[in-house]
């Protein structure tokens, strides 16, 4: 059976077509443009198909089910954190974003041991997991939220991105300088704190957010579709033989 994984984030929907447990093709689509989403023609010819949806935007799930019903029928499953096959050693496990759990599932598979996962999106998460399970993490504003809040506060009429100034020669340069140097600085500070406590943990970077400052972030491996890879693992484990 062919597997399609759908990773729904606040900004983007990532859809992966899996063959032999690996992503053979992935597409990225803006979440707020979901009404225009079309399933690639080649995927329509793949039968039978099982579709797994991991979403942090529940209101789009019914429409996604409709989009995939033609090729998957009733073989569509909403994947929750408890479905991911990793112990959730946190308070209120039902409230955790499934993408964060899937990130850690895939990361542990890559490293075979404890991991720190940096995910840069609408928000930035830096999570920790080990053979004991998903142990939690931190959340802070992503680059787009940072710039939106500061530009609104500064009442800049044309919030077009500017070159980061150091020092900035006007308000816009100063704001983008803060993002350019502040975001990686904040991430690295969190990673350093983790590494003091878990010195052998591997560090993986992922996400669909702004990556222009990637060279200033401390990490071991970058994986563009980490949550999607984790989703594929879950789907093959649970439904690959159906």
Q: Omega into 106 within 30° of 0, i.e. cis?
A: no
Beta bridge partners of 19: 22
**In sequence order, what E strands does the chain have?**
2-8, 12-19, 22-30, 49-55, 76-78, 115-120, 123-130, 133-141, 202-206, 221-222
* H or E, element range at 64: helix 61-72
The token duo for 3 is: 């597997």
Task: Give the active site residues.
Answer: 99
Residue 101 CA to residue 180 CA, distance in Å, equals: 28
């Amino acid at each position: 059976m062919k597997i399609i994984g759908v990773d729904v984030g606040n900004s983007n929907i990532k859809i992966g077509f899996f063959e032999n447990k690996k992503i053979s093709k992935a597409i990225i689509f803006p979440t707020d443009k979901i009404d225009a989403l079309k399933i690639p023609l080649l995927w329509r010819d793949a039968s039978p198909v099982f579709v797994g949806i991991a979403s942090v935007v529940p209101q789009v799930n019914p429409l996604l089910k409709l989009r995939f019903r033609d090729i998957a029928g009733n073989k569509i499953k909403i994947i929750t954190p408890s479905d991911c096959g990793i112990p959730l050693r946190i308070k209120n496990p039902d409230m955790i974003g499934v993408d964060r759990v899937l990130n850690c599932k895939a990361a542990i598979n890559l490293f075979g041991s404890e991991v720190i996962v940096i995910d840069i999106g609408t928000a930035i998460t830096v999570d920790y997991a080990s053979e004991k399970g998903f142990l939690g993490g931190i959340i802070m504003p992503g680059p787009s939220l940072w710039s939106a809040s500061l530009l609104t506060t500064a009442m800049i009429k044309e919030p077009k991105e500017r070159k980061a100034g150091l020092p900035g020669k006007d308000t816009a340069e100063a704001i983008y300088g803060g993002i350019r140097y502040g975001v990686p600085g904040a991430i690295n500070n969190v990673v350093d704190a983790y590494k003091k406590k878990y010195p052998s943990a591997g560090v993986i970077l992922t996400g669909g957010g702004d990556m222009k400052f990637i060279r200033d972030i401390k990490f071991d491996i970058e994986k563009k579709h980490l949550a999607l890879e984790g989703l594929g693992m879950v789907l093959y484990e649970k439904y690959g033989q159906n």
